[in-house]
Chain A
Amino acid sequence: MSRLPVAPKPPLRRFHQARWDEPIVFELSTPGSRGVGVTGPDPAIGEPNVTLPPVLARATPPALPELSQPQVLRHYVRLSQENLGADFNIDVGQGTCTMKYSPKINEVAIRDARLIDAHPAQDVADAQGTLEIIYRLERMLAEISGMDAVSVQPAAGSAAIWANVSMIRGYHAARGEADQRTEIITTAFSHPSNAACAKTAGFTVITLQPDANGYPDIEALKVAVSDRTAALLITNPEDTGIYNPRIREFVEIVHAAGGLACYDQANANGILGITRAREAGFDLSHFNLHKTFSTPHACGGPAAGASCVSAALEPFLPGPVVVRDADGTFRLDADRPLSIGKVSPFYGVIPNIVRAYTWIMTMGAEGLREVAEVAALNNNYLAARILAVPGASMGYPATPDRVEQVRYTWQQLADETGVTTEQIGWRIADFGTHYWTSHHPFVIPEPFTLEPTESYSRAELDEYARIVAEVAREAREDPETVRTAPHRQTVHQAGDEDLDDPDRWAVTWRAYRRKYFGEGVTP
């Protein structure tokens, strides 16, 4: 029987996730199994137990699982098939995360032996290339932000916010105002890491609510500022995708009160080459290299962040900093008395620094601006498709001006069908793609946040919109299917109560064994 020609594909992909029912790696352990026969130490080094300080020697060996190489390979490939990774789904559903393509060619660059064989404590004379990449990336990010100096030492976006808050604290301390300027102002739609870092650093956090038009309330800012104001930490565009056109006024109000202004540009994907922190008058800003500059998100790190500052804040940058001498050689300068010190071990996440450098070099200045233009175009194209789905709307405010992402609402659909945004997310996973609601708390009811970036074609955006429309149709015609989803996934609905209970959460195998089976608890 002939099976040709190939049957046409239906408009909706008939997806099914792998389901391996795979045990945890510790449960796969067979005593005596080995993946690698480790050779003894070089006799020239001597007996490790003698040469190592006693504090580093274990009394008992670690309880590592014992497996052969192919078992380990199968285990992790199976796990990799049981998630919705960025490389195989149309990853526009995780708004605010800026899930763009991480070019594979950049992985070749970071496998260069001159990078992977280098030791962080190696003499800088042997690491001139690495230092040059750090230096050049910092100069490029200075140009992109308009700021005077940059540090790529922070190992994540939030670490860059933390570095910025630390510099704000250092700046006021150097002026003798540390005890007076104890308040940091932020907005309800700024990324929550801003408030979190400010609090961790000991500041009191003042939050501004959005006004009737969805912008941070400038009248509330005027009431919030005082001689206690250390800084304003503000995201723009905010997580709603709304760009605040009065941002310069915000900065001026804070400056007039003697505070600093710090711009969260973790996601600068909609404004690259279009507007800069400098032009809005900011003193500090930061980028996430894994958002705007294409380095992988890597399931929670390691990421990389860049802190960008004006000349007045430069002495406070994390150190040591990479400097270029007159003869063209690079070195590390640690003699900086006002520096906030290290914010990560050594010099930052070098592989991500190299990836971001490579990406910027391959894009060029025109390419960066094109990224922002295509990201905004894609977003507005997808928005037109999503708003055509009955029950979906723009949320608050209803005006259509969005830059690179939109926080939509299913309020109408939920009112009509009782199906919630969370349930829609469960069902969308059945079509092989991601969907995300919003940070907590939900300010916009039944929210969902889509951010298509520049990486997806029109056909792919159409496919995502078809999936959203299909699930909305199901919510009306077959709500049980949506409420009980996912049906074609590795796991079905997982309760999250354990995540809120310190007696029940367990992030390591050892903690799990201790909390549930009482192992390793000394009475």
Chain B
Amino acid sequence: MTVAEVVIGLIVNPIAGIGGAAGLAGSDGQGVQHDAALRGGRSHAADRAVEVLRAIRVHLESGAALLLVAPGDMGAATARAAGVPHQVLDLTVGEPTSAADTRSCAAALAETAVDLLLFAGGDGTATDVAAGCGETVTALGIPSGVKMYSGCFATDARAAACVADRVASGRATATTLAEVVDLDEAALRGGRVAPRLTAALRVPVSPVVQPRKAPSAANAAGEVAALAAAAAHLVSDGVPTALGPGGTTAAVSRALGLEPTLLGVDIVCDGEIRASGVSEPELYDWAERGPLRIVVSVIGGQGFVLGRGNQQVSPRVIRACGPANIVILAAESKLIALGGRPLLVDTGDAALDEELSGYRRVLTGPRQWTICRIGQSFSTQVDHHDRRSA
């Protein structure tokens, strides 16, 4: 028997997405799951995972790759449905399964040092996987939840299959840290959208390799590095600068030789961190004293620049600092992935949102800006989408 060179892990959240068709905007909480089932909700997570497993069947059958799955409905059933060889983690999971099961399975797969941890679910699943496996394991979401705002999902099941095939056939894949974002679904159902940055996951770079006319070294990591260098240059002018949360702004700190506070706001000036992990009142103090520049980045796929994960940058902070002193960063690929939708702000202050909307420059790289439209809310997106489809 040959020893498998590559180990692929799989976790399926069997209730992921169940609240989608049921119109519940999510699937968190057993009460919601019960309601969703009553309304005819059904999870597609297992189906999508089967599609991915079938795409790597040849590597599993040849023994070149080993598939290690979570027990029962969280993986083993899916592997059986796909008809592929697999081994099952020596764990027991609850009935019904829970978020804690996802975390313990992810931790067990991390301990086994899997080369790629595939998980089928949504943002909640991603959050639990990240809590279980940390930032060292390379993971990739097979999008199956109601909301996939996080940056750790393939664009669809077939893109996930493409990456899995690449890893299973032993080809090296560069990785990068992606933001995991989750919504407070109870608040959402109450009419309030309140996503928060929950974790970071290590994911493969450029999930689907595209053909080219002219060769280009611009993979996502290179693009962010170039953008970070440009932003680092921009903020090296002696003006105190608040660097908001996110992977892009963290890269700016590192380009300055500084270690950022993950998920927090740091004040940098003259190559030093003046204050780290500042609270809203602290940030307001800095803005009041002035001058202060605030650097924020775009949440990939979502387009939010203010009001998501960076609530420290509150309306009074923005007013004190002056909207003109807010610099927005985004890799060009992130802007294009928005598919023509505008950037979004939701500071909680409608008048300020109005003031911030319109056209603005977004830094995309060294000596490189794109003029972007900023809208105020999801309604702008829906409106834009309708116009595009018409």
Residues of A that sit less than 8 Å from B by CB? 188, 192, 195, 199, 203-210, 212, 217, 219-221, 223-224, 396-397, 418, 420, 422, 425, 436-437, 439-443, 445, 495-497, 499-500, 502
List chain B residues, Cβ under 8 A from A437.
Answer: 210-211, 213
B208 touches A441 (CB 8 A): no
Residues of A within 8 A of B359 (CB): 219-220, 223
Asked whether, in the complex, the Cβ of B367 is within 8 Å of the Cβ of A440, the reply is no
Residues from chain A with a CB closer than 8 A to the CB of B384 are: 212
**Contact between B367 and A208 (Cβ–Cβ < 8 Å)?**
no
Is the CB–CB distance between A436 and B213 below 8 Å? yes
Cβ-defined contact, A440 with B371, below 8 A: no
Question: A205 to B368, Cβ gap below 8 A?
Answer: yes
Known: A207-B371, A208-B370. 6 other contacts (CB 8 A): A205-B368, A206-B369, A210-B340, A221-B371, A436-B213, A496-B215
The stretch of B5-13, B216-224, B261-269 in contact with A is B216-224
Instruction: State the 4 A-B residue pairs at the shortest beta-carbon distance, nearest first.
Output: A220-B371, A418-B158, A223-B359, A204-B367
Of the residues B212, B339, B372, contact of A440 by C-beta under 8 Å: B212
Pairs across A and B, CB under 8 Å, 16 listed: A206-B370, A207-B368, A209-B340, A217-B371, A217-B373, A220-B371, A221-B371, A223-B360, A418-B161, A436-B213, A440-B214, A441-B332, A441-B333, A443-B336, A495-B171, A497-B171
Taken residue by residue from 328 to 366, chain B's Cβ proximity to chain A (1 for < 8 Å, 0 otherwise) reads as 000011011001100000000000000000111100100
User: In the bound complex, do residue B340 and residue A212 qualify as a contact, i.e. CB atoms below 8 Å apart?
Assistant: yes
* Contact (Cβ within 8 A) A223 B371: yes
| Residues of chain B from 182 to 202 with CB closer than 8 A to chain A in the complex | none
A207-B371, A439-B213 as given contacts; A500 in contact with B340, CB under 8 Å: no
**Interface presence of B289 (CB below 8 A):** no
Look across to chain B and name the residue whose beta carbon is closest to the beta carbon of A196.
B214
Cα–Cα, bound, A443→B215 (Å): 17
Cβ–Cβ < 8 Å partners of A192 in chain B: 214
Chain A nearest Cβ from B113, distance in angstroms: 24
A396 contacts B388, CB within 8 Å? yes
Is B209 on the interface with A (CB-CB < 8 A)? yes
User: Could you tell me if B208 and A420 are in contact, using CB atoms closer than 8 angstroms?
Assistant: yes
How far does the alpha carbon of A166 sit from the alpha carbon of B82 in the complex, in Å? Answer: 61
Closest B-chain residue to A502, C-beta based?
B217
Given contacts A422-B210, A441-B333, contact A212 B373 (CB under 8 A): no
B369 interface neighbour in A205, A210, A221, A441, Cβ under 8 Å: A205
When distances are taken between beta carbons in the complex, the residues of chain B under 8 Å from A441 are: 332-333, 336
B367 touches A205 (CB 8 A): yes
Q: Which residues of A contact B171 (CB under 8 A)?
A: 495, 497
Which chain B residue shows the least CB distance to A495?
B171
CA distance A203 to B213 in the complex (A): 25
The docked-state distance in angstroms from the alpha carbon of A500 to that of B205 is 13
A47 to chain B, nearest CB (A): 45
User: Are A442 and B210 in contact, with the CB atoms below 8 A?
Assistant: yes
Query: Are the CB atoms of A203 and B336 closer together than 8 Å?
Result: no
Contact B215 A499 (CB under 8 A): yes
Taken together as a complex, chains A and B put the C-alpha atoms of A212 and B216 apart, in Å, by 28
Q: Which residues of A contact B367 (CB under 8 A)?
A: 199, 203-205
Choice from B208, B212, B368 contacting A204 with Cβ under 8 Å: B368
Given known contacts A396-B388, A499-B215, A209 and B368 CB-to-CB distance under 8 angstroms: no
A204 to B233, CA, bound (A): 14
Contact of B387 among A212, A418, A440 (CB under 8 A): A212
| Complex: A396 Cα to B218 Cα, angstroms | 25
**Among B216, B332, B360, B371, residue most surrounded by chain A Cβ atoms (within 10 Å):** B371
Q: Which residues of A contact B215 (CB under 8 A)?
A: 496, 499-500
Q: Which B residue's beta carbon lies closest to that of A397?
A: B388
Chain A residues whose CB sits within 8 angstroms of the CB of B209 once the complex forms: 496-497
| Cβ B371 vs Cβ A496 within 8 A | no
Whether A440 contacts B370 in the complex (CB less than 8 A), given A396-B388, A500-B215, A500-B217, comes out as no
Nearest B residue (CB) for A439: B213
- Chain A residues closer than 8 Å to B158, beta-carbon distance: 418
Contacts of B210 in A (CB 8 A): 422, 437, 440, 442
Chain A residues within 8 Å of B333, by CB: 441
A253 to chain B, nearest CB (A): 13
A495 to B364 Cα, complex, angstroms: 28
Instruction: Specify which of A203, A209, A210 is in contact with B372 (CB 8 Å cutoff).
Output: A209
Residues A422 and B211 in contact, CB atoms below 8 Å apart: yes
Provide the bound-state CA to CA distance between A221 and B384, in Å: 19
Taken together as a complex, chains A and B put the C-alpha atoms of A188 and B388 apart, in Å, by 17
Residues of B within 8 A of A199 (CB): 367-368
Q: How far is the CB of A229 from chain B (nearest CB, A)?
A: 12
Take A425-B211, A496-B212 as given contacts and tell me if A207 and B369 are in contact as well, using a CB distance cutoff of 8 Å: yes
Q: How many angstroms from the CA of A217 to the CA of B342 in the assembled complex?
A: 13
Shortest Cβ gap from A230 to chain B (Å): 13
- Residue on B with the closest CB to A423? B211
Do B368 and A208 have beta carbons less than 8 Å apart? no
How far, in whole Å, are A161 and B218 apart by their CA atoms in the complex? 22
Residue of A with least CB distance to B333: A441
Among residues of A, the one whose C-beta sits closest to the C-beta of B223 is: A441
CB proximity of B218 to chain A, nearest CB, Å: 7
Bound together, the chains give a CA A397 to CA B390 distance in angstroms of: 9
| A206–B359 CA distance with the chains assembled, in angstroms | 13
B298 CB to nearest A CB, Å: 14
Q: A206-B370, A220-B373 are in contact. Are A212 and B208 (CB under 8 A)?
A: no
- Measured CB to CB, the nearest residue on chain B to A94 is B213
CB proximity of B151 to chain A, nearest CB, Å: 17
Smallest CB gap from B364: residue in A: A207
Kindly report which residue of chain B lies nearest to residue A224, judged by CB atoms: B371
Residues in A with CB closer than 8 Å to B336 are 441-443
- Alpha-carbon gap, A408 to B360, bound state (A): 30
Residue of A at shortest CB range from B384?
Answer: A212
Residue of A nearest to B389 (CB): A398
A199-B368, A441-B333 given as contacts; is B213 within 8 A of A500 (CB)?
Answer: no
Give the shortest distance, in Å, between A157 (CB) and chain B (any CB).
13
Q: Which residue, A442, A497, A499, has most C-beta atoms of chain B within 10 A?
A: A497
Set of chain B residues within 8 Å of A203, measured between Cβ atoms: 367
Which residues of chain B are within 8 angstroms of A397 by Cβ–Cβ distance?
A: 388
Say how far A288's CB is from chain B's closest CB, in angstroms. 15
A203 to B17, CA, bound (A): 48
- What is the CA–CA distance of A422 and B212 in the complex, to the nearest angstrom? 9
A274 to B3, CA, bound (A): 68
Q: What's the Cα separation between A217 and B370 when bound, in Å? A: 12
CB closest residue in chain A, given B362: A207
Docked pose: A209 CA to B369 CA in angstroms = 11
Q: How far is the CA of A445 from the CA of B210 in the complex (A)?
A: 11
* A-contact bits for B27-46, CB 8 A (1 contact / 0 none): 00000000000000000000
